[in-house]
Chain A
């Protein structure tokens, strides 16, 4: 069972906006930055958002992250077929002294 809670799935039609939530606790999201990883089918995870809301070079500004208290969210606007993937939130957990990941959300473009 994952420490961070995400919905198992999300979907939208091309061009729509999809939001993925990530719920944690004071020892992880409440105290540390949240990072998001994208995993395309059959590939390794890739950093998508770091430090709550920063995008690495090459990540389009259609993707954005935010954090408030012990929760975070990832928004994908202008949904495209290439966005079909699994998305994971992650954070350092002070109590566990380790990284914790969300359960993952599968995004489907209808």
Chain B
């Protein structure tokens, strides 16, 4: 069964840092681009970042560019999101998702909640 499990969320003060992880299983991790998508409380989905299968190409939404870094460890089938200089508006559930060869996202992980507050 294809599965993605996020971890690493929690409460952090404004200006702080947090690293999210997404453990993948049930598929050949090195074959797929991977994504992070977030959802603020009561709001819609917002795409955050994307990384190529070999880790050499990354893309970011303007709202996180320069503050967030996406990476992956293909030896451990794990996707990461390093979040620095966190702001209150970064408060959200963060989902990781696999990009299929056709470009759609499937499946999604269960999400991990990040709360930025003093």
Question: B47 interface residue, CB < 8 Å from A?
Answer: yes
Chain A residues with Cβ below 8 Å from B108 are: 44-46
Chain A residues with Cβ below 8 Å from B45 are: 37, 39, 45, 88, 90, 101, 104
Question: B35 interface residue, CB < 8 Å from A?
Answer: yes
Q: Are A44 and B95 touching (Cβ within 8 A)?
A: yes
Q: Are B44 and A88 touching (Cβ within 8 A)?
A: yes
- For chain A residues 87-110, which have a beta carbon within 8 Å of chain B? 88, 90, 92, 96-104
**Could you tell me the dominant secondary structure of chain B's interface residues?**
strand
Question: B110 interface residue, CB < 8 Å from A?
Answer: yes
Contact (A51, B109) CB under 8 Å given A98-B47, A99-B35: no
- For chain A residues 49-87, which have a beta carbon within 8 Å of chain B? 50-51, 56, 86
Q: Are B44 and A97 touching (Cβ within 8 A)?
A: no
Given the complex of chains A and B, what is the CA–CA distance between A37 and B60 in angstroms? 21
- For chain A residues 14-45, which have a beta carbon within 8 Å of chain B? 32-33, 35, 37, 39, 43-45
Chain B residues with Cβ below 8 Å from A50 are: 100, 102, 104, 106
Question: B11 interface residue, CB < 8 Å from A?
Answer: no
Chain B residues with Cβ below 8 Å from A103 are: 44
Q: Are B104 and A98 touching (Cβ within 8 A)?
A: no
CB distance from B31 to the nearest CB of A (A): 18
Chain B residues with Cβ below 8 Å from A99 are: 35, 37, 47, 50, 105
- Among residues of B, the one whose C-beta sits closest to the C-beta of A32 is B103
Known: A33-B102, A104-B44. 4 other contacts (CB 8 A): A32-B103, A35-B103, A45-B105, A101-B47
**B interface, CB within 8 angstroms of A:** 35, 37, 44-47, 50, 59-61, 95, 100, 102-111
